[in-house]
């Protein structure tokens, strides 16, 4: 007997499993399938994407439904169109030897009439996104009043995307005596509320660790003057050259304007909002998924459909009106077990909102400073040096080497390095040299309070030392693990390391000046896996830091290199790669007008 047979699955399903090449059940399948086959029970399963959860509910569902009846017996709700289609495809493969089983996908952005027609033909299993499902129920195009099974897949994601009310509405159209199977990677409070309200003594299974995603988002705020939001946004981007982010604005108009401005300034940006056609939105999302767009500027409603896992930063260009919305926004990062950063650009008058959000999310914010121009230059310089180091040599260059050697003859190594690095560095330096500090003082106690959460409130602001360390995300660190590594290695206390900013191949962190000696001593001739790990005191001791971890191996073509803060923007050359990777295009004339009315 194979392991799948032992779970109690019928022969036709075992044949499909064998065709699919599944050799043995995954952990979630081993745990869930027997429970779901043997009893009519509610189930809460904590399992991440990729654990085989679709099959864990799919096989029992197919085995249990009556294929002779055309009534809809199973409803699967999933957060996104992509996931909805993926589940439908999987279930269709699983049921290939079942006669008469129909699995129909219903989701937004496609013809509702076609979907209604498919349902009418008889669909025992409906896989739906909440928005479209609600719409179809409202129009009487689907009947879920007789379902026996309801699966809530990626429940945490659905709630993150703001589908709580839709789900409640949908569930109120289903019979009380059905079984509900809830699958979620994490168990935030909202999911627990759903489980409590709509489920009866559910059995629980866990694969991996509970709540693994919940604490992986670091929340940061930056206080600036109202007119400095845009330059601040650019500095945050320039501090994180590998950023892959969603930037939230409050209105469609602002969303479009910020995106256009970023594109003009040479960033790989795009806009996502409701005034775009479905086709335009699909194009933007495809570019974003392929990472051709690094900064996706979006409204809250449009961002509901974003199902991308490795977003490094969420930037709140403006805070939302509803605190609840902030939770949905920040939930776009720190997914699938990765860490992420949610940044908020605020004015002083909005600071009370930060407090309200902290209460709501039960997590503290860190008060951070917008990096100074010179800090950005330093980060860009290290980034560039690492990029050069990691660049794979193109052997074709060999053909041209003699001629190149002729040109560069007489320049020694050191000078050559300086020249190479200066090609890019000078652009940043010329731009940021002598730019103003964008930070608005954030009433002393608040700033201190913020620091205390990241580090130690006993440390005076000017007693901090900022360090550079030559390890970063590439070496497997994020801000949490690097903090742990430093703490353990130097034998420091829990709060002694703060303002940890992990970049691609290097990082920064701060300590109290009292710890400097111990740090530098520990990291003298210090090796990890045979490689020297160096720590140096950073040239920019301010340590404002842009926060964040960068993404690996991303290079932004032109991204921000020629970017200029607004006050210096007029009359300057536009970056050649400005509109690359974006659907927007703009004429110089319109640009001038937008600039004046927006800033």
Site string for ligand AMP, 28-47 (x = CB under 6 A): -x------------------
Choose the binding region for ligand AMP from 53-61, 281-289, 493-501, 582-590 (rule: CB under 6 A).
53-61
Choose the binding region for ligand AMP from 22-30, 60-68, 398-406, 535-543 (rule: CB under 6 A).
22-30
Q: Which residue of 50, 109, 463, 476 would you call a contact of ligand AMP, by CB under 6 A?
A: 50
Indicate the residue among 49 and 511 with the shorter CB distance to ligand AMP: 49
Q: Cβ of residue 216: shortest distance to ligand AMP, in angstroms?
A: 19
User: Which token pair is 423?
Assistant: 């090609």
DSSP label at 436? P
Cα separation, 516 vs 463, whole angstroms? 11
Choose the binding region for ligand AMP from 18-26, 72-80, 261-269, 482-490 (rule: CB under 6 A).
18-26
Choose the binding region for ligand AMP from 25-33, 126-134, 282-290, 335-343 (rule: CB under 6 A).
25-33
Q: In DSSP terms, which residues pair with 184 in a beta bridge? A: 46
Candidates 213, 197, 148; CA nearest to 44 is 197
Q: Which residue of 7, 45, 55, 319 would you call a contact of ligand AMP, by CB under 6 A?
A: 55
Site string for ligand AMP, 420-459 (x = CB under 6 A): ----------------------------------------
208 binds ligand AMP (CB under 6 A): no
Under rule CB under 6 A, which residues in 230-249 are in contact with ligand AMP?
A: none
Under rule CB under 6 A, which residues in 276-335 are in contact with ligand AMP?
A: none
51 binds ligand AMP (CB under 6 A): yes
Q: Which residue of 16, 35, 44, 52 would you call a contact of ligand AMP, by CB under 6 A?
A: 52
Beta strand 498-502 with 507-512: parallel, antiparallel or unpaired? antiparallel
Q: Which residues contact 566 (CB under 8 A, 6 or more apart)?
A: 230, 231, 595, 599
Going edge to edge, which strands form the sheet with 179-184? Answer: 103-106, 125-128, 74-77, 149-152, 179-184, 43-46, 203-206
26 binds ligand AMP (CB under 6 A): yes
Candidates 199, 201, 165; CA nearest to 180 is 199
Count of beta carbons in the 10 Å neighbourhood of residue 424: 16
Beta strand 464-469 with 365-368: parallel, antiparallel or unpaired? unpaired
C-beta of residue 339 within 8 angstroms of C-beta of residue 220: no
Indicate the residue among 77 and 515 with the shorter CB distance to ligand AMP: 77
- SS3 of 482-545: HHHHHHHHHCCCCCCCEEEEECCCCEEEEEEHHHHHHHHHHCCCCEECCEECCEEECCCCCCCC
Choose the binding region for ligand AMP from 19-27, 201-209, 224-232, 524-532 (rule: CB under 6 A).
19-27
Cα separation, 580 vs 266, whole angstroms? 8
Q: Which residue of 25, 305, 320, 546 would you call a contact of ligand AMP, by CB under 6 A?
A: 25
Q: Cβ of residue 91: shortest distance to ligand AMP, in angstroms?
A: 10
Q: Which residues contact 320 (CB under 8 A, 6 or more apart)?
A: 248, 250, 300, 326, 329
Under rule CB under 6 A, which residues in 72-131 are in contact with ligand AMP?
A: 90
Cα separation, 87 vs 81, whole angstroms? 10
Query: Coil, strand, or helix at residue 116?
Result: helix
Indicate the residue among 208 and 225 with the shorter CB distance to ligand AMP: 208
Indicate the residue among 61 and 343 with the shorter CB distance to ligand AMP: 61
Q: Which residue of 13, 35, 36, 54 would you call a contact of ligand AMP, by CB under 6 A?
A: 54
What are the φ and ψ backbone dihedral angles of 247, each rounded to 5 degrees?
A: -110, 120
Q: Which residue ranges make up the site for ligand AMP (CB under 6 A)?
A: 22, 25-26, 29, 49-55, 90
């Amino acid at each position: 007997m194979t392991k799948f047979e032992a779970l109690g699955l019928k022969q036709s399903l075992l044949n499909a499993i064998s065709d699919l090449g599944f050799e043995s059940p995954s952990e979630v399948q081993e745990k869930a399938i027997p429970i779901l086959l043997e009893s009519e029970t509610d189930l809460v399963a904590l399992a991440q994407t990729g654990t085989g959860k679709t099959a864990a509910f799919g096989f029992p569902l197919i085995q249990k439904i009556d294929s002779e009846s055309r009534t809809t017996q199973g409803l699967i709700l999933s957060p996104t169109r992509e996931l909805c289609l993926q589940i439908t495809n999987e279930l269709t493969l699983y049921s290939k030897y079942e006669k008469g089983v129909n699995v129909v996908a219903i989701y937004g952005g496609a013809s509702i009439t076609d979907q209604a027609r498919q349902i009418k033909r008889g669909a025992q299993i409906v896989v739906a996104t909440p928005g479209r499902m609600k719409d179809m129920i409202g129009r009487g195009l689907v009947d879920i009043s007789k379902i026996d099974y309801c699966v809530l897949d990626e429940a945490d994601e659905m709630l993150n995307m703001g589908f709580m009310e839709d789900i409640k509405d949908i569930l109120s159209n289903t019979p009380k005596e059905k079984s509900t199977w809830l699958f979620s990677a994490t168990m935030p409070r909202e999911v627990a509320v759903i489980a409590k309200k709509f489920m009866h003594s559910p059995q629980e299974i866990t694969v991996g660790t509970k709540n693994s995603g919940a604490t992986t988002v670091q929340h940061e705020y930056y206080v600036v003057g109202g007119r400095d939001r845009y330059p601040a946004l650019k500095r945050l981007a320039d501090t994180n050259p590998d950023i892959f982010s969603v930037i939230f604005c409050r209105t469609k108009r602002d969303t479009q304007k910020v995106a256009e401005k970023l594109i003009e300034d040479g960033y790989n940006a795009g806009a996502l909002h409701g005034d775009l056609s479905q086709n335009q939105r699909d194009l933007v999302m495809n570019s974003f998924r392929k990472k051709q767009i690094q900064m996706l500027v979006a409204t809250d409603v449009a961002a509901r459909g974003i199902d991308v896992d490795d977003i490094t930063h969420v930037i709140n260009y403006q805070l939302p009106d509803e605190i609840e919305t902030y939770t949905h926004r920040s939930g776009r990062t720190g997914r699938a077990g990765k860490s992420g950063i949610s940044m908020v650009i605020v004015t002083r008058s909005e600071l009370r909102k930060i407090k309200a959000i902290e209460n709501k999310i039960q997590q503290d914010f860190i008060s951070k400073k917008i990096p100074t121009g010179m800090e950005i230059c330093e980060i860009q310089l290290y980034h560039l040096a690492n990029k050069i180091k990691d660049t794979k040599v193109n052997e074709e260059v060999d053909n041209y080497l003699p001629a190149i050697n002729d040109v560069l003859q007489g320049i020694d190594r050191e000078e050559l390095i300086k020249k190479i690095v200066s090609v890019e560095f000078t652009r940043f330096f010329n731009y940021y040299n002598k730019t103003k500090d964008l930070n608005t003082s954030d009433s002393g106690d608040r700033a201190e309070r913020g620091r205390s959460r990241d580090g130690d409130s006993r440390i005076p602001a000017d007693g901090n030392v900022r360090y550079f360390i030559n390890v970063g995300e590439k070496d497997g660190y994020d801000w949490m693990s690097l903090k742990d590594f430093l703490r353990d290695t130097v034998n420091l206390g829990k709060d002694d390391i703060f303002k940890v900013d992990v970049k691609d191949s290097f990082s920064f962190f701060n300590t109290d000046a009292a710890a400097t000696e111990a740090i530098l001593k520990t990291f003298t001739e210090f090796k990890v896996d045979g490689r020297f790990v160096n720590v140096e005191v950073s040239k920019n001791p301010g340590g404002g830091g842009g926060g964040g971890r960068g993404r690996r191996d991303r290079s932004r073509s032109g991204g921000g290199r020629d970017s200029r803060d607004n006050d210096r923007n007029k009359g300057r050359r536009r970056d050649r790669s400005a509109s690359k990777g974006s659907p927007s295009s703009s004429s110089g004339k319109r640009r001038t007008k937008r600039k004046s009315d927006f800033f």
